[in-house]
Amino acid sequence: MIKAVKDISVESFDYPLPEERIAKFPLHKRDESKLLVYQQGNISHTVFNKLPSLLAEGSMLVFNNTKVIHARMLFQKDTGAAIEIFCLEPVKAYDFEAAFHARGSSKWICMVGNAKRWKDEQLIKQIEINGKHVDLKAVKISQQEAYFQIEFSWNETNLTFGEIIDAAGILPLPPYLNRETTQSDETAYQTVYAKHNGSVAAPTAGLHFTDQVLQSLNQNGIRSAYVTLHVGAGTFKPVKSDTISGHQMHVEHAFISLNSLLEIHGQLKSGKPLVAVGTTSLRVLESLYWFGVKVMQQQWLSELHVEQWEPYEIITEATPMQSIGAIIQMMQNAGMTELRGDTGVLLAPGYKIRMANAIVTNFHQPKSTLILLIAAMIGEDWRKVYNEALAKDYRFLSYGDSSLLWRA
CA 250 centroid distance within chain: 11
- Would you state the pLDDT for residue 113? 95
Residues 6 or more apart whose Cβ sits within 8 Å of residue 380? none
Which has the closest alpha carbon to 364: 388, 350, 382?
A: 382
Q: Domain limits of the chain?
A: 2-67+188-406, 70-170
Phi, then psi, of 137 in degrees rounded to 5: -115, 145
User: How big is the chain by its Cα radius of gyration, in Å?
Assistant: 21
As a 3-state breakdown, the chain gives helix, strand, coil percent values, each rounded to 5, of 35, 30, 35
Return the closest-CA partner of residue 275 out of 229, 326, 224, 235: 224
pTM of the entire structure? 0.95
pLDDT in tens, the chain (408 residues): 688 889 999 999 999 999 999 999 999 999 999 999 999 999 999 999 999 999 999 999 999 999 999 999 999 998 889 999 999 999 986 789 999 999 999 999 999 999 999 988 999 999 999 998 999 999 999 999 889 999 999 999 999 999 999 999 999 999 999 999 999 999 999 999 999 999 999 999 999 999 999 999 999 999 999 999 999 877 777 788 999 999 988 889 999 999 999 999 999 999 999 999 999 999 999 999 999 999 999 876 666 789 999 999 999 999 999 999 999 999 999 999 999 888 999 999 999 999 999 999 999 999 999 999 999 999 999 999 999 999 999 999 999 999 999 998
- For 2-67+188-406, which CATH class? alpha beta
DSSP 194-259: --EEEESS--GGGGG--HHHHHHHHHTT-EEEEEEEE--GGGG----SSBGGG--PPPEEEEEEHH
* Ordered DSSP codes for 305-319: EE-SSHHHH------
